[in-house]
Amino acid sequence: MATVNFLVKGKDNPATIHVRFKEGNSTHDITKNTGKVINPKYWSKSKKAPLPKSEHLKNLASDLRKLKEKIIDSFSETPSSSINGAWLQKQIDIHNKVYIAEEREIVSEYLTDAIQHIIDTSHLRENSKGSLGLSKSRRNSYKNLLNIIEAYQGRKKIKVKDVDISFGKRFLDWMLNNRKYSEGYSKKKIDDLKTVCADAAINGLEVNHQLKKVKGGKTKNDHVIYLSPEELNQIKNTSLSKPSLENTRKWLLLGCNLGQRGQDLLNISEENFVTRKGLDLIELTQQKGGKIVTIPVLPATKEILAEGLPDPISLQKFNDQLKVLCEEANLKKPTYGGKVTMVDKEGKEIPKDEDGKYKEKGEKRKIFGTFPKYQLISSHVCRRSFATNHYGILPTPLIMQITAHGTEKMFLQYIGKSSMDYAQQIADFYNNHSNEK
């Protein structure tokens, strides 16, 4: 068990604030200067923090809390053999924004080494929140890219400068047709690859002059899978075979009222419910992007929560049971879309046995085709259903405040709307306005 505490030594004003990191009884016990000072009479020895006597002291207390979180987070990802005074000083310097990463040269010109360099230095890279340290999902994205490139290149190692337009097309074709990756995932790997090469250029490596012209990008969302109000009502009124499906249904109906991603939805607890200015609200910080979202608790949500929050459930189990739930609700209409499944070496779907287990080993892929709709349902249907069902009813900017889309263009792409929908909205507005007259 690791602990981080702050202490002030002596009675001189100003006095230096020190941080003490301790693991177990005596494994590691390190104390360092935080670079912060305080008048000792405003330091609480019992709480080991500044007294909230002024705005400055409140900000200092907040800063120390963030330093503590930084140290604990770094400790959880650092080998025990590397925990020492230099490590603790480095965390303090990074937090105080005075740490300058040692200059590193990527001596190797090979692509796999450039990818590995980003993974190795991920804790020093700025993330989307403006702080240091790439998220776990971003690190995993680069790890996946490394595995894919290693499989693609075989024994002939690819160099960073080899990534040109021709390479991009061959690599994309291989991912789509040999590995059977989805178009969206394949294009995302191209974007990750371009980021790796751009980073290598910063470190002094030669990159191809065609790099910026290599095509990645997002795939147009032509097949939006969501649950209509009629389908949600059908699910609500279905008699279910197992109590666990009742819990899954409650999470689904709640999710379609709150418009959040799967993990953000399933992380909601009583602590997220607050009352401000007489309004009952749900406040949460989204994992992706770190945006704080405030959602009003409307009557439909209160009805779902009349007997309290549903029981906790893992995201994987939620995704699995959603399909069972929607099958029992008879959502079997043939629908085009992508579903995640196991495929064999030829990219063909591996069937399941009576217990729902795959009959042979394979690789997980998202395959596209026409399937019974329940097979296409996953946790993401909550956010998309909320956005789609409320479009044209609530003002789009209000919906975007809850779904946390950055631009209206991104939002409309997300729900599969086009310029034709704009034209229809304008026509409906004028028709309604004329009828009122």
Report the SS3 class of residue 56: helix
Phi-psi region of 277 (alpha: psi -120 to 50; beta: other; left: phi over 0): left
Domain boundary residue, one of 368, 384, 400 = 384
For residues 294 and 353, membership in a common domain is answered with yes
* Same-domain check for residues 262 and 341: yes
Q: Which tokens is 16 given? A: 């230096």
What is the residue range of 52's domain?
2-95
Same structural domain for residues 169 and 275? no
pLDDT tens by residue, 335-344: 988 888 888 8
Q: What is the pLDDT of residue 129?
A: 67
Residue 179 near residue 346, CB atoms below 8 Å: no
Q: Is the Cβ–Cβ distance between 335 and 271 less than 8 Å?
A: no
17 assigned to some structural domain: yes
Same domain for 77 and 135, yes or no, is: no
Query: What pLDDT does residue 100 have?
Result: 44
Residue with tokens 């020895």: 45
Q: Which residue has 């997300």 as its token pair?
A: 414
Q: Are residues 202 and 264 in the same domain?
A: no
Judge whether 126 lies within some domain: yes
Q: What's residue 104's pLDDT? A: 43
Beta-strand runs (E) in 286-421: 292-296, 334-343, 363-372
The answer to whether residues 83 and 125 belong to one domain is: no
Asked if residue 131 and residue 32 are part of one domain, the reply reads no
156 and 90 in one domain? no
Q: CA nearest 249: which of 259, 265, 238?
A: 238
Name residue 276's beta-bridge partners. 279
Residue 20 resides in a domain: yes
Same domain for 11 and 88, yes or no, is: yes
Same domain, 84 and 161: no
Is residue 433 a part of any domain in this protein? no
DSSP bridge partners of 186: none
Q: What is the pLDDT of residues 362-409, one digit of tens each?
A: 888 788 889 999 999 999 999 999 999 988 888 888 888 888 887 888
Cβ within 8 Å of residue 133, ≥6 positions away? 73, 122, 123, 124, 125, 127
Q: Evaluate whether residue 204 is within a structural domain.
A: yes
Q: Using CA atoms in the order 259, 260, 266, 272, what is the torsion angle rounded to 10 degrees?
A: -90
Helix (H, G, I), strand (E, B) or coil at 39: coil
All residue ranges of the chain with pLDDT < 50 are 99-107
**Structural domain contains residue 400:** no
For the purposes of burial, counting CB atoms within 10 Å of the CB of 272, is it exposed (0-12), middle (13-18) or buried (19 or more)? middle
Residue 265 lies in a domain: yes
Same domain for 267 and 335, yes or no, is yes
Q: Say if strands 279-285 and 273-276 run parallel, antiparallel, or are unpaired.
A: antiparallel
Q: Say if 416 falls within a structural domain.
A: no
Which of 37, 69, 95 is the last residue in one of the domains? 95
Contacts of 218 (CB under 8 A, 6+ apart): 184, 187, 188, 413
Q: What is the CATH number of the domain that holds 286?
A: 1.10.443
Please check whether residue 88 is in contact with residue 28, taking contact to mean a CB–CB distance below 8 angstroms.
no
Residue 119, both tokens: 């993974």
First to last CA, the chain: 72
Instruction: Indicate whether 306 and 355 sit together in one domain.
Output: yes
Share of the chain above pLDDT 70, in %: 90
Task: Report the C-alpha gap between 35 and 16 in whole angstroms.
Answer: 7
What total of structural domains would you count in the chain? 3
Which of 95, 124, 146 is the last residue before a domain boundary? 95
